Structure 1
Amino acid sequence: MDIPLEKKRFTTSRIFILTTIVLFIAFVVFVIVSSSGPSKLNVENERLTISEAVQGVFQEDIPVNGIVLPITTIYLDAVEGGRVEEKFVEDGAIMKKGEPILRLSNTDLELSLVNQETAVYNLLTQMQIQQNSARQNTINRLNQLTDVKNKLIEAKRVYNLNQKLYDKDAIGRQDLIASENEYNYQKQRLELAQQVVAQDSIATNQEFSQAQDSYQRTRTALELMRKKVGDLIVRAPVDGQLTSLDAEIGQSKTKGERLGQIDVLSGYKVRVEVDEHYIARIYAGQIGTFNFSGKTYTLEIKKVYTQVINGRFLVDMHFQAEVPAGIRRGQTLQIRVALSQEKQALLIPKGGFFQQTGGNWIFKLNKDQTTAYRQSIQLGNQNTEFYEVIDGLNPGDKVITSGYDNYGEIQELILN
């Protein structure tokens, strides 16, 4: 009699299949759990820049480049046009005020001077003739007045004599009346002669004054013409160094054309270009500093040129107190211009992390400095060295300030 055998529920093949399924499920779960957690990346410490957040003095400033220029530059323009006939000095010469630089020639201007001089001499001759004529006329008027006075005296004497003779019946009444009429006639002539002399004197004075005014105007015009001719010799307006001289013998220069410039060597200034973004924050009196030969020097903004060209505007800065020895015109200086007053703030050094994070977060190290994780932060102002931390960090915190180019969406760094 056959005995029925009990069928096995777990064969070797079935066990293998079940084991495989369990391992696969475990792997899937592991992957899901791993992907849902923070992404990590192992990095070498040597590739990182680790900085510490510190409490310190903060001042907002901007870096700018400045060019050293003479304290004053006076441009030489051709006051009158002409041909360059002679050069007395060459470019770079040290000039004293009034020393000649070059000579121009202008035939038309020189001819106008001759004509003006001739006009002045002719006017002076006419004035002399008029004055002589006026003097002669005055003398004649005075002679006539003297004759009238003499005849009046004689007429009065005769009239008085006839009055006495008539009282004694020595002469007739007709003789008395005739002498009286003659006396009255001479009195009227005297009054008229005196009026003529007075009016002649007034007229003479007016003519003389008008002639003097005309002569002075003509003389002034002559002096101006002489000055214009004198301006054909270009002279140094101040003591200084002649630079940028642009004139060669035989070359024609038009009126107003730039010939060169005189740089006053009594001091220097620094001309700075600033980005237009800061135009509302730059003003006269602000301070800038720079290093030269291992020493720090101070500059002060004296003038701001508000015209913006190609996104930048100009600022003139003057040295405060000491001017660096050995500084030269045209030299470039790297200057830090202060935009705010000094204050206490939490600071972290500037670094490449800002380009990827925009200052919104940073990798902060744990206490044992084995890992670093993302930390949200808020930055304020900045200068050439530091960022001002408003929120997110405390003094003594260690952070990574080097660039984050290779970290992508990494949430945590494992430091090796």
Structure 2
Amino acid sequence: MDVPIQKKKFSNQKLGLALGVLAIVALIVYVIFQTSGGSKLNVEKERISINTVSKGVFQENIPVNGIVLPVTTIYLDALEGGRVEEKFVEDGAMLKKGEPILRLSNTDLELSLINQETSVYNLLTQMQISQNAARQNTINRQNQFTDVENNLIEAERVYNLNKRLYEKGAIGRMDYESSQNNFDYQKERMKLAKQVLSEDTLSSKLEVSQAKNSYARTQSALELMRKKVGDLVVRAPIDGQLTSLDAEIGQSINKGTRLGQVDVITGYKVRVDIDEHYISRIYNGQTGTFVLNNKTYTLEIKKVFTQVTNGRFQVDMKFQGDVPEGIRRGQNLQIRVALSAEKEALLVSKGGFFQKTGGNWVFKVSEDGNTAYKVNIRLGSQNTEYYEVLEGLNPGDKVVTSSYDSFGDTEELILK
């Protein structure tokens, strides 16, 4: 006989457990749906910057700071040390070449000059004494030569006379030979006298030449010493303006100390600091521009200093064309240095978005202007105003260029 099976019913506890499981599953599904879909964020248009992508002339450039300097600067160094006794001009004065700036005193140097002058005067006196003695000796030699010459003439006359008389038998052989011996003797004396006179002349010339050379060397040393004493008066090396004068009366100055400088103010140059990253792209002839008093001026690189200090190097730039009126030494200028030629390109304005995206994507505004969504892009070169767009955008597209830091990982912006 069959026994009927009764159908079990769910208890309240089991029913509650089932409902809890369903709630958890529903929550998980909701989270998955929210994360798998694009997250959205409401943004007010007034708080962001929206710019239009456009085609235009593009030139890569970098912003740099420059300082105005005189075209030429001559430094004033103390050629000799000493104590500052007198200042003839003050810092900022306009000078002519050779105009005195200040006077130093140096007793040791001045005493050396006096000693040198005394040495020169003593040497000159000795030279005069030696020359007088040499001249007197020459006169004596010439007198002796004259006597020898006269004796030779007389001996020759007697010899010739006695020779004729001897041949005629008027005198004896002894008288004849005596006159002959005396004549031969006087001839030998004449040879010796000529030799002595010749050697004396050469000796006198050599002595005079040596004395002159010695005097010339001593005189040169004296002139050098006078110049060193003269250098105690510091003078302007060129026409220009005295700047950075660092000397006060009573101050002790060492030899070689930098006292100041003289600036040639007939022209100016601009000394520019540039990041070492661009050192391979900077060369003579490149140009840069800056705006002053609503007018644009052009500069050209004339000299590149390749030494890198603290990650930067320097260049000198000179004005092309007009020079701003009233420009002054030490004035700072904001300059754009061109790194490429001008070309036609697709441009997007620079903004804070780059720090977040690295130029790999951007929020593009929809055609109705109500939303903005992520699009991948690729940027090229840049200048102070624009990025060059290589792909991902078209002319007329509108993009959000302000900072994305407050957007988090939002995929879409709702613009209000």
Cα RMSD after superposing both structures: 2.6
Instruction: Report the Cα distance in structure 2 between the residues aligned to 1:138 and 1:376, rounded to whole angstroms.
Output: 111
Instruction: Report the Cα distance in structure 2 between the residues aligned to 1:187 and 1:343, rounded to whole angstroms.
Output: 108
Match of 1:370 in 2: 370
Match of 1:256 in 2: 256
Match of 1:12 in 2: none
What does 1:341-352 align with in structure 2 at a 5 Å threshold?
Answer: 341-352=341-352
Instruction: Report the Cα distance in structure 1 between the residues aligned to 2:205 and 2:401, rounded to whole angstroms.
Output: 95
What does 1:14-413 align with in structure 2 at a 5 Å threshold?
Answer: 29=29, 31-413=31-413
Runs of 4+ in 1 over 6 A off after TM superposition: 15-27
Match of 2:12 in 1: none
SS in 2 for 1:143: helix
**Per-residue deviation, 1:205:** 1.1
**Per-residue deviation, 1:214:** 0.9
Instruction: Report the Cα distance in structure 1 between the residues aligned to 2:77 and 2:217, rounded to whole angstroms.
Output: 28
TM-score (norm 2): 0.89
Match of 1:4 in 2: none
Instruction: Report the Cα distance in structure 1 between the residues aligned to 2:21 and 2:147, rounded to whole angstroms.
Output: 161
| Per-residue Cα deviation, 1:185-216 (whole angstroms, up to 9, x for no partner) | 22222222112111111111111111111111
Instruction: Report the Cα distance in structure 2 between the residues aligned to 1:115 and 1:23, rounded to whole angstroms.
Output: 115
| Per-residue Cα deviation, 1:38-78 (whole angstroms, up to 9, x for no partner) | 22333232233222222222222111111212222222222
What letter corresponds to residue 309 of structure 1 in structure 2? T
Instruction: Report the Cα distance in structure 1 between the residues aligned to 2:157 and 2:113, rounded to whole angstroms.
Output: 66
- Shift in CA distance, 41/119, structure 1 to aligned 2, threshold 3 Å: same
Does 220-229 or 45-54 show the bigger shift? 45-54
What letter corresponds to residue 213 of structure 1 in structure 2? N
What letter corresponds to residue 241 of structure 1 in structure 2? Q
Does 353-362 or 86-95 show the bigger shift? 86-95
Does 382-391 or 19-28 show the bigger shift? 19-28
Q: How many positions carry a matched residue from both structures?
A: 405
Instruction: Report the Cα distance in structure 1 between the residues aligned to 2:226 and 2:362, rounded to whole angstroms.
Output: 77
**Per-residue deviation, 1:266:** 1.2
**Per-residue deviation, 1:260:** 2.1
Instruction: Report the Cα distance in structure 1 between the residues aligned to 2:277 and 2:193, rounded to whole angstroms.
Output: 89
Instruction: Report the Cα distance in structure 1 between the residues aligned to 2:54 and 2:238, rounded to whole angstroms.
Output: 55
| Per-residue Cα deviation, 1:328-351 (whole angstroms, up to 9, x for no partner) | 222111111112222222221111
Does 286-295 or 370-379 show the bigger shift? 370-379
Structure 2: gaps (5+ residues) = 1-6, 10-14
Does 116-125 or 379-388 show the bigger shift? 379-388
Instruction: Report the Cα distance in structure 1 between the residues aligned to 2:181 and 2:92, rounded to whole angstroms.
Output: 95
SS in 1 for 2:359: coil
Instruction: Report the Cα distance in structure 2 between the residues aligned to 1:407 and 1:99, rounded to whole angstroms.
Output: 69
SS in 1 for 2:283: coil
**Per-residue deviation, 1:373:** 2.3
- Shift in CA distance, 324/153, structure 1 to aligned 2, threshold 3 Å: same
**Per-residue deviation, 1:25:** 6.5
